[in-house]
Structure 1
Amino acid sequence: MTATQSVQAVYRSDYQPPTYWIDNVELEFDLDPRETLVTARIAVRRNADQASHTLELAGQHLQLQSVSVDGTPLSANEYSISNESLTLTELPETCVIETQVLVSPVSNKTLSGLYQTSGNYCTQCEAVGFRRITYFLDRPDVMATYRVTLRADKKTCPVMLSNGNRIAQRDLGDDRHEVVWEDPFPKPSYLFALVAGNLKCHRGTFTTASGREVALEIWVEPQNIDKCEHALVSLQKSMKWDEDVFGLEYDLDIYMIVAVNDFNMGAMENKGLNVFNSKYVLALPETATDEDYMLIEAVIAHEYFHNWTGNRVTCRDWFQLTLKEGLTVFRDQQFTADQTSAAVKRIDDVSGLRAGQFVEDSGPMAHPIRPESYISMDNFYTATVYRKGAEIVRMYHTMLGPEGFRRGLDLYFQRHDNSAVTCDDFRAAMADANDMNFDRFDRWYSQAGTPELFVSEHWDADKSEFSLTLQQAYPSLSGGNPGTTHRKPVPLPVRVGLLDANSGDELNEHSRVLQLETESETFTFSGLNAKPIASVLRGFSAPVRLRMDRSDAELAFLMAHDTDALNRWDAGQTLAAKLLLQSAKDVSDGVELKLSEHFRSAFARVLQDDAVDEAFKALALTLPRESVLGQEMDVIDPDALHTAREFFRSRLGEVFYTEFMAMYHALAADGAYQNDQTSINRRRLKNVVLGYLATQHSDEVIALIRNQFERADNMTDKQAALSLLADLDTPDREQALAAFYDQYHHDPLVIDKWFAVQAGSQRADGIEQVRQLTEHQDFCMENPNRVRSLLGAFTQNQVRFHQADGAGYQLLADYVLQIEAANPQLAARLVAAFNSYRRFDASRQAIIRGELKRIADHPGLCKDVHEIVQRALSF
């Protein structure tokens, strides 16, 4: 790959359909670790709208053995080949092109294309991995039916899987065998999957609404066969929910999931054969936390829901990625809300959006949910495309209601089943099915950045009228990225409720969704007896930053009384953030810190409120993250923020010590572990309370933490205790870390937790600890989970990663340079931790910029990292 090719941008405006379409694909794999022979026969027909008879097939890292057209072998002067493609000229209107190539799965460390993991064969083809398997039109608008023949040694590959239905299998002699798979539904190449090796199956069934029985198979390495039941139940629940809520039924005879250890992503929705990172499949109480269980259920659901929103209807080009991902994230969020608590789920989602996507929206990687250009498509599997994309879909749901949204989705499938389409097609279906005009909604797809919503209020006692003036604006962004200039007002559905200022009772007749279509508009509420308290942006009905002047007393009132759970939580977060930011300034100015009485009393009311469930209470009692607080500072001061937040935590732990201790003991489980929702909620609150107690460093509390660690019968409690011990200067720390490792060293996913706990430690020797752990016998640079558990977790450690001497920044840059050649996707995700460097003080900026330049100057730097680094340096 030349340097010019490595940084060549692709533009949405340049989209052209291919010169030829591919209708049918036959693939044959003779599997071998070093030399897998791939034979591909593709039936092509010329695109009637194109005049050319030339076809350029993408291909990378392939050893071409032969090419033929309609059975006639081509000589070397009848085609042209480069590091990126195979080009054929003067093709007939229709023909069958056959190629044979050799690929080396064992040496493929990118985890893209066909590779080996734990001795098993696996593929990952999204976004452009299929070109590492054979020469092809590796683009999502080319949809074909596939027949796949797999051949391998019976001892090393007793199991061989691919998309669709198994239609034949036979013994070949010489200890080899063959399996044939056929997928009757047209699909793009990114949905192709192949898995082969020594695997065991956990089986189940599901009977669809129309009465068909679907075989469910979860394939794992033999030692993990006892960890699959939760994944199976999650799949069955997902299938039932999609039928009940959206009327969508599964369409094949078999649905398979395979768990692999080495995987760049969370999971992949390949038609009928989902390949998963083992983190999102395997679970037992003693090895998986409550969060792991919930994530497994959510990710299983997400990939299953893709069968319709992504597979049956797919993207015309990769710029439309949010068409499938944003929509499917919204669907999995709704699913989880129905399985657990809608309020808690919404708070978790909004919290994640603010912590991750809002940062992205204000930095060098700011882009619309439908980007205008890219150098490496792998860099645009972002929080913006996924999380913000889901919020855009949610706004349709808010404006249309569940019934109107369902009508729009039904029309979308009716029009576009088995097609590759655009975001505009989805928007048109929603509009046409409900006789609405969503033309201005296009701005959400083409503009980058997070709008700010300014709200002011006015009370007219003479007229008994209360009015809210809503005004929207985009903050300025540097860098000149597409979608960041000349931005126009976007449609904003703003859900509002009014509360009686004395009782806190909801004035139901005045609750509504205000539709802001222009830059500014005033909405009036009449017939009120007294000035109410306004609860604005309920349920986070639009992805904006709310700017509304509130007194501490008013925020405390909403924290105690708001009937919208998200806004009640958010009032507490807003009050805490306001006070913490002032305290951070006081730290810088040398002013003595004090705990606000308003906040102390509001905190006490939440603590003592028995009307809310424990999960909500845990969220409401948790202070805003330092990374979120930093977004509100002109210049982020991580040291002052940490000092202020730790002061608040310590004072709250001191003031409410007796209440926390009583609550902890009341929440401690009696009897054996349970994973019902009530037990999960109780553990969540118990461990938040234990965190506050830990700030006191008393012998009583340390003994309590040690006791929880030693006696825990579940990973949730054990990991929570270990995380607290990891921050302490006590012999209990080293003893607990050693005991944890000795107990779980055989389980890779649990050892990931062991690495992550230490990477998150805020002790003064944290950076040295991370460096030492990179030399540990169980640290593997080729395993993305292990790298993320140590280096990825370290970048979230606000105290140590942003250490003033820059040692954290140097550490990250060192390892990005070690990883980028073998696994560009992983390295690019790590280096993105530098994206917000312009928000810090001049000294930190200079250090990070120096590290970015060091990376940029690295010879042969991969295009994934190059794109991220150059955008950061240009910001």
Structure 2
Amino acid sequence: MTQAQAKYLKDYKSPDYTITHVDLHFSLNGKETLVTAKSQVKRLNESATTLILDGDDLQITQLLLDGEPVSYTTEKGQLIINDLPATFELTIVTLLDPEANLALEGLYMSDGAYCTQCEAEGFRRITYFLDRPDVLAIYTVQVEADKQAFPYLLSNGNRVASGPLDGGRHFVRWFDPFPKPAYLFALVAGDFDLLEDKYRTRSGRDVALQVFVDKGNLNKAHHAIASLKKSMKWDEERFNLEYDLDIYMIVAVDFFNMGAMENKGLNVFNTKYVLADTASATDDDYHGIESVVGHEYFHNWTGNRVTCRDWFQLSLKEGLTVFRDQEFSSDVGSRAVNRIHAVKVMKNQQFAEDAGPMAHAIRPESVIEMNNFYTVTVYNKGAEVIRMMHTLLGETGFQAGMKCYFERHDGQAVTCDDFVSAMEDASGVDLTQFRLWYRQSGTPEVTVTEEHDVESSEYRLHITQKTQPTGEQTEKLPLHIPFDLELLSSQGDSLLNRVLNVTQERQTFVFENMPTKPVPSLLQNFSAPVRLSFNYCVEQLMLLIRFASSDVAKWDASVALFSQAVWQNVDNLHTNRAMHIDTRLIDAIKGLLLEEGLDKALLAEILQFPNVATLSEQVTQVALDELILARSFVVEEIATGCEDEMLARYRELRGIDEAASRALKNACLQLLLKISDEHQILAKSQYDDAQNMTDSLGALSALNGEQSELREQLLHDFQLRWADTPLVMDKWLTLQATCPGEDRIAAIKSLTGHSAFSFSNPNRVRSLIGAFAAANTEVFHQQDGEGYALLTDVIIKLNKLNPQVAARIITPLIQFKKFDSTRQTKMKDSLAQILALPDLSKDLYEKVAKALG
């Protein structure tokens, strides 16, 4: 593909011109929407006389330079004007058809409302512009539309004027006093229900809060606005950051490629992360809304007031803001459970990305399609890098670094290096070696061995680190790894808690006054994003589960104990030996179920044993069929051995209206249904009596692993009950997508014609096709390749319709190297079929071409 040219960080050049002020005028009129952009342009490079603007599929109706027509040329998505003065006013009028824009970038329609999405490069679909994040301008925006159809006309900043126009139309003018890049521009026009509130900042200013939702959903917006107020208060107290405009708006739209977008003062959200009531949303949904509302609000400073110089610096705002939203969730909820959820994302998804064809550093060196780099590496590994800095500097040093960062760079577009320099200068800590985390891709492999000298009472830990070659990075240097360590006595007493600085390829750490050999709790709280290798025995893991001071370490030890049992049985299958289980694993789980005072949410996490996809990430090559059999055997043996204890806990928790209790109850129910069909009566009773979506879905999810008449009966009832609620029907689609069974692929194909599904809506596609490919490992990877063929057909369809969504759901197909040769061949054949498309999008080309080498 001639258009699929890579861009490189090393080629960055500051712009020849900048735009200081923009006056935008939108006349919204369906297929004939006119956009007038009047820009004040200023030369930065004294030798420059040519202005090159970005544009995508635009129809120009007028172009003026200082009010006079001027000649220009367009080619390959650029508008070029020559022989320009040092400063001038450029007016461009473009004609748009938002109804035909199905890619959901730029200006488009979502269920009858106008909506924009401009990050990363969507503004160029609205008008020709310097569509790059290092061009910051002050925006004045006037929006005009039919008043009856579009009573709300929204944009960034503060509302400064409004009024009627001829022909039943009206206008609203908005002014944003803070310079921003084009990717933060937003416009929404529609007829919504509005929930209003206000927040008084710590300096005494009243900020109007508004949440706009589709008609009839007002009762589902209260949690979102409560989460917003909680976020504003937390950011003032933890980071001393106060909101800066007079109004903060959130708009929920159903057609949206992302989770949400932090446009200055006007956040556009996927409805999934706004709408919630107990009948239709689970406890996890409530947590997700709180987290995402917080994330987008925190961007006001870490992303908006200080933004990225270029898109290679994306983790500057996203990694930092993910860290901030994780800390917010941990401060207002369970720190242990929130940390476990973050660790799961890293181990299950980010490590897989590092091991696959799309491996990249959190600050990549090259990109073909920027939308492909909104990844778990940039976001979640980026957050882990920020967390490591916090570990090294401490809370006081980290906050001093944040203060320095804002004082230096408020109102600027800067780099990851600028952020690290602020941290370094404010704290006095040398972060020279630590900077390697930004430019080195791959997951470091850390191997630990132990040695105990009885005569000298010394205990030694030998730590080595190695990062495998990835892509074009063949040489890897040692990283600075903060290594959180606890040493426990054989009775479970804590002997030492310390963060070790691992900076060399090989290091030995000596601990004195250890007359008996301690048990090490290594890399506590996942203090660095590395793969850890240590030869734990069963007794050590059982001691950690009981006595480690960190709840995350207890969970991690339980995962290791379960994984050991599974892999031992994979080996048994390979060598034609009978599968068996060490009863000490059953005893450990039984002990946890009986332990009084143990955090119920933590126990629920422990009982959600690693699935096949998670276990697959623990090895380079996976014998998938044997792994599926071995895991099922171990889970069923644990469930059988702990049946009485789980049944007792389940009955104890029935009727308790509290999230942690529901989580543990549903985890027990999942396991009980692995033992006997007799326990299906528990699921039926829970479903019938459910007063909330968590319990309804918990019952259905427990049944979903078993093909039964009751499952079909309850799924049918669920469909009838929620047919008119798209977000709940998404849950129904996911249940259908993740059910086992040989008939599943035919069922999924049939569901693409269901009234609840639409290829044009990203939420529907992710709920059915995305969930099938990512979460139904057994069926997706069945030997005949029909799972691959199904995903391939969908991706070919989405290539024209919505390339961003296509590129995101293709991930399980490009990670073929982990599987056997038969599966690899079928997966590569599917990728070759996609690569051969004559109109292949850049989004897909980059991933498929890298996968096939």
TM-score, normalization: structure 2?
0.99
- The residue correspondences of 1:488-503 to structure 2 (distance < 5 A) are 488-501=477-490, 503=491
Q: Which amino acid aligns with 2:811?
A: A
Partner residue in 1 for 2:522 = 536
Q: Establish whether residue 487 from structure 1 lines up as the match of residue 476 from structure 2.
A: yes
SS of equivalent residue, structure 2 residue 268: strand
Q: CA deviation at 1:535?
A: 1.1
Q: Establish whether residue 4 from structure 1 lines up as the match of residue 34 from structure 2.
A: no
Q: Which amino acid aligns with 1:103?
A: L
- The residue correspondences of 1:834-849 to structure 2 (distance < 5 A) are 834-849=813-828
Partner residue in 2 for 1:42 = 39
Pairing partner for 1:506 from 485, 488, 494: 494
- Find the aligned partners of 2:811 and 2:271 in 1 and give their Cα distance: 24
Q: Contact conserved, 1:638 with 1:798, CA < 8 A, in 2?
A: no
Q: Contact conserved, 1:146 with 1:182, CA < 8 A, in 2?
A: yes
Q: Establish whether residue 321 from structure 1 lines up as the match of residue 314 from structure 2.
A: yes
Q: Which moved more, 1:655-664 or 1:421-430?
A: 655-664
Q: Which amino acid aligns with 2:63?
A: V
Partner residue in 1 for 2:252 = 259
Q: Deviations over 1:747-776 (max 9, x none)?
A: 010000010001010122111111111121
- Find the aligned partners of 1:423 and 1:379 in 2 and give their Cα distance: 19
Partner residue in 2 for 1:309 = 302
Partner residue in 1 for 2:743 = 765
How large is the RMSD of aligned CA atoms in angstroms? 1.1
Q: CA deviation at 1:621?
A: 2.2
Q: Deviations over 1:321-355 (max 9, x none)?
A: 00000000000000000111111111111011101
- Find the aligned partners of 2:620 and 2:805 in 1 and give their Cα distance: 31
- The residue correspondences of 1:9-408 to structure 2 (distance < 5 A) are 9-47=6-44, 49-74=45-70, 78-408=71-401
Partner residue in 2 for 1:857 = 836
- Find the aligned partners of 2:650 and 2:742 in 1 and give their Cα distance: 29
Q: Percent sequence identity over matched residues?
A: 46
Q: CA deviation at 1:50?
A: 4.6
- The residue correspondences of 1:564-603 to structure 2 (distance < 5 A) are 564-603=550-589
Q: Contact conserved, 2:586 with 2:642, CA < 8 A, in 1?
A: no
Partner residue in 2 for 1:688 = 667
Q: Contact conserved, 2:393 with 2:429, CA < 8 A, in 1?
A: no
SS of equivalent residue, structure 2 residue 494: coil
SS of equivalent residue, structure 1 residue 820: helix
Q: CA deviation at 1:598?
A: 2.3
- Find the aligned partners of 1:539 and 1:496 in 2 and give their Cα distance: 9
Q: Deviations over 1:224-283 (max 9, x none)?
A: 111000000000000000000000000000000000000000000000000000000000
Q: Deviations over 1:30-79 (max 9, x none)?
A: 002211100000001100x45111110101111110110001112xxx21
Q: Deviations over 1:274-333 (max 9, x none)?
A: 000000000000100000000000000000000000000000000000000000000000
Q: Which amino acid aligns with 2:798?
A: I
Q: Contact conserved, 1:200 with 1:220, CA < 8 A, in 2?
A: yes
- Find the aligned partners of 2:588 and 2:643 in 1 and give their Cα distance: 16
- Find the aligned partners of 1:604 and 1:659 in 2 and give their Cα distance: 7
- Find the aligned partners of 1:377 and 1:199 in 2 and give their Cα distance: 32
- Find the aligned partners of 1:412 and 1:350 in 2 and give their Cα distance: 28
Partner residue in 2 for 1:833 = 812
Q: Which amino acid aligns with 2:182?
A: S
Q: Contact conserved, 2:488 with 2:521, CA < 8 A, in 1?
A: yes
Q: Contact conserved, 1:302 with 1:328, CA < 8 A, in 2?
A: yes
Q: CA deviation at 1:589?
A: 3.5
Partner residue in 2 for 1:872 = 851
Partner residue in 2 for 1:439 = 432
Q: Which amino acid aligns with 2:91?
A: E
Q: Establish whether residue 724 from structure 1 lines up as the match of residue 702 from structure 2.
A: yes
Partner residue in 2 for 1:814 = 793
Q: Deviations over 1:455-480 (max 9, x none)?
A: 11111222222121111111344xx3
Q: Contact conserved, 1:231 with 1:300, CA < 8 A, in 2?
A: yes
Q: Contact conserved, 2:469 with 2:475, CA < 8 A, in 1?
A: no
- The residue correspondences of 1:532-681 to structure 2 (distance < 5 A) are 532-670=518-656, 674=657, 679-681=658-660
Q: Contact conserved, 1:453 with 1:545, CA < 8 A, in 2?
A: yes
Q: Deviations over 1:704-723 (max 9, x none)?
A: 11111122111111112112
- Find the aligned partners of 2:676 and 2:538 in 1 and give their Cα distance: 31
Q: Which amino acid aligns with 2:509?
A: F
- Find the aligned partners of 1:634 and 1:105 in 2 and give their Cα distance: 46
Q: CA deviation at 1:568?
A: 1.3
Q: Which amino acid aligns with 1:66?
A: Q
Q: Contact conserved, 1:209 with 1:249, CA < 8 A, in 2?
A: yes
SS of equivalent residue, structure 2 residue 559: helix
Pairing partner for 1:745 from 723, 729, 736: 723
- Find the aligned partners of 2:387 and 2:704 in 1 and give their Cα distance: 40
Partner residue in 1 for 2:759 = 781
Q: CA deviation at 1:83?
A: 4.4
Q: Contact conserved, 2:122 with 2:183, CA < 8 A, in 1?
A: yes
The total of aligned residue pairs comes to 852
Q: Contact conserved, 2:232 with 2:297, CA < 8 A, in 1?
A: yes
Q: Which moved more, 1:378-387 or 1:510-519?
A: 510-519
SS of equivalent residue, structure 1 residue 34: helix
Q: Which amino acid aligns with 1:273?
A: L
SS of equivalent residue, structure 1 residue 782: coil
- Find the aligned partners of 2:624 and 2:74 in 1 and give their Cα distance: 53
Q: Which moved more, 1:223-232 or 1:764-773?
A: 764-773
SS of equivalent residue, structure 1 residue 61: coil
Q: CA deviation at 1:172?
A: 0.6
Q: CA deviation at 1:585?
A: 2.6
- Find the aligned partners of 1:415 and 1:271 in 2 and give their Cα distance: 21
Q: Deviations over 1:670-702 (max 9, x none)?
A: 5xxx4xxxx100000000000010012332x11
- Find the aligned partners of 2:214 and 2:843 in 1 and give their Cα distance: 32
- Find the aligned partners of 2:709 and 2:616 in 1 and give their Cα distance: 34
Q: Deviations over 1:182-222 (max 9, x none)?
A: 00000000000000011121011110010000000000111
Pairing partner for 1:448 from 417, 441, 444: 441
- Find the aligned partners of 2:458 and 2:154 in 1 and give their Cα distance: 67
Q: Which amino acid aligns with 2:498?
A: R
Extract unaligned runs of 5+ from structure 2.
none
- Find the aligned partners of 1:253 and 1:605 in 2 and give their Cα distance: 55
- Find the aligned partners of 1:552 and 1:527 in 2 and give their Cα distance: 25
- Find the aligned partners of 1:182 and 1:660 in 2 and give their Cα distance: 59
- Find the aligned partners of 1:684 and 1:156 in 2 and give their Cα distance: 44
Q: Contact conserved, 2:590 with 2:645, CA < 8 A, in 1?
A: no
Q: CA deviation at 1:513?
A: 0.7
Q: Contact conserved, 1:61 with 1:83, CA < 8 A, in 2?
A: no
Q: Establish whether residue 416 from structure 1 lines up as the match of residue 416 from structure 2.
A: no
Q: Deviations over 1:84-108 (max 9, x none)?
A: 0111111110000000000110000
Pairing partner for 1:518 from 504, 507, 513: 504
Q: CA deviation at 1:600?
A: 1.5
Q: Which amino acid aligns with 2:2?
A: T
Q: Contact conserved, 1:330 with 1:390, CA < 8 A, in 2?
A: yes
- Find the aligned partners of 2:676 and 2:76 in 1 and give their Cα distance: 61
Extract unaligned runs of 5+ from structure 1.
none
SS of equivalent residue, structure 1 residue 815: helix
